[in-house]
Amino acid sequence: MINLDLHRRYIQIAFNGDLSQVRAILPRIPNDSRIIIEAGTPFIKLEGMRGVNYIRRHWKGLVLADLKLTDGAFSETMIAARAGANAVTVLGSAPIDTLNLFCKFCSENGLYAVIDMLGVTNPLRKMMPLRFKPHAVVIHKGRDEEDNPRSIIRYKDITKIRSKFDTLISVAGGLVVDKVKEAYFNGADIAIINVVSPQDRNKGLRVDEDIEKAIQIALAEAGK
């Protein structure tokens, strides 16, 4: 397993486009141990496991497959692992049995188990019955919620989870480089930034901006 340090901060760069986007942008991302590359859910739906494997072959660090599993914890996680993923996501709204099987399987096979709490109103309550604990939890404001002014990243859930669990916590939800500092200030270990095209309605790391400069700014906020 590629080690993640509970005492460091990370940037997670999420690809949600197609393989051509990855080919264009991935070589411009510095080889830094504080960077996680995510094969996003839309990317996986477009490109399948060959897309995950392409990222694996061209990125030396941690690769996360954002499967957002809801069932089939063993079989689907193994598919991602065989493609080269070091970490996989399951939805927090999945059945408790699925969450337990997923976390157990990941721990036994050297993978990071990540629970994405998209749409879960009380993440801590969902985690309390688990017999096997995740390595990371995502506090997630969805892409479809970005334009809703009443929808916010629920940073208060970070403190609640930390009161009971020693786990990494990621935040996602329209983050741009300028908002990374806010995520860390509110206790996040991992700030997730989506790669977006100019015509994309969502916010993130734009493909037409100075990618190298933007990532260096984000890494400076993450610290050493």
Instruction: Classify burial at 121, counting beta carbons within 10 Å of its beta carbon; exposed 0-12, middle 13-18, buried 19 or more.
Output: exposed
Pairing mode of beta strands 136-140, 35-39: unpaired
**What's the whole-number average pLDDT of the chain?**
91
- The whole-number pLDDT of residue 176 equals 82
Residue 92 lies in a domain: yes
The predicted-structure confidence for 49-65, as pLDDT tens digits, reads as follows 999 999 999 999 999 99
Written as six digits, the tokens of 160 are 């609640």
Classify residue 2: in a domain, yes or no.
no
C-alpha to C-alpha distance for 222 and 188, rounded to whole angstroms: 10
- CATH code: domain of residue 102: 3.20.20.70
Residue at 1 is within a domain: no
Q: Which tens digits make up the pLDDT trace of 161-172?
A: 999 999 999 998
4 part of a folded domain: no
- pLDDT value, residue 145: 62
Please report whether residue 98 resides in a domain.
yes
Q: Is a pLDDT exceeding 70 seen at residue 151?
A: no
Q: Is residue 3 included in any domain, yes or no?
A: no
Question: In degrees, to the nearest 5, what angle opens at C-alpha 91 toward C-alphas 6 and 20?
Answer: 85
| Residues facing 119 on adjacent strands | none
Three-state DSSP state, 159: helix
Classify 37 as helix, strand or coil: strand
Report in angstroms the alpha-carbon separations of 38 from 43, 88, 157, 193, 221: 9, 9, 23, 10, 20
Please report whether residue 190 resides in a domain. yes
Q: Does 178 map to a domain? A: yes
What pLDDT band is residue 79 in, cutting at 50, 70 and 90?
very high
* Number of domains within the chain: 1
The residue segments making up the domain with residue 33 are 10-222
